[in-house]
Structure 1
Amino acid sequence: MRSRRAREHSLKPSLPALFFDVMGKMKNLSKIEWMIRGVDENAVIGRAFIEDGRRLPGVKHLISTMNAPWLIDACPSLTSLEAKRDDYVWVEAAHTRDVAWFAAAWRLKGLRKLDMGEVEWTGTMTDYERTSRYPSH
């Protein structure tokens, strides 16, 4: 038989889940500046958000590092998207992250402004063979 303390602990939601529960209840939330650094940190928070299926339909403007493509998907009404640089990403993870971020941005139907000004462009971002829908071969 489990103790009362063990039962209470198992019923408590995780911190990321609580965080997004609060964000989801902010009905007038129209702008988010999401500057949580690091791929792993964003993955933990994003996983909790995706599992819950929560959306933030009122958010129109998002400022974020490229480590949070899940947040783009969670804000289907975005009209303005701004990318900030995060220097704490290994090269291997950076390519996967960039592809996921651009794919999420591509899915936005109402995007009117895309600001990539603080992103350090890499060869994988501009390699025609990797980025073109119509590769040469």
Structure 2
Amino acid sequence: MQAFFMGKRVDWQPGLGVASKAVEVGGELPLGIRFERQDGAFVITEIISGGSASVGELDVQVGNIIHAVSCSVGGKKQITTAFEVDTIDQMSQAICSNDDERVLMLVEKPDEGAAGAVSFLTDVATRL
């Protein structure tokens, strides 16, 4: 699949196993998140008190999947995708490289609107 992130098309592979969407979110460092590498994806496993995620600036939750992050290369904002890095350390370095301390992320979240639409259609179909 593709999503717009930082004005560019970015490939991402759904990993939640439910109807999902990829959205751009942003926050100031420290982000206050922990994530793990699971099946080739970076999954948020904890929200840490005191970071931009815990105060609601970075709109993420445990279980969301990080598909891309902003990074600084030569003083310019660039994109690092989960496909391009292999380890938590590499993803963390990309996040921390943002010179302006503002990080943008492409995050996969459950699409509650789509799930509701599917259950509504299922309800209608069973009544017919």
TM class by smaller structure: under 0.3
Max Rg structure: 1
User: What TM-score does the superposition give when structure 2 sets the normalisation length?
Assistant: 0.23
User: What TM-score does the superposition give when structure 1 sets the normalisation length?
Assistant: 0.22
Higher helix share: 1
User: Which structure exhibits the higher relative contact order, with contacts defined as CA atoms closer than 8 Å and separated by 6 or more residues?
Assistant: 2
Higher strand share: 2
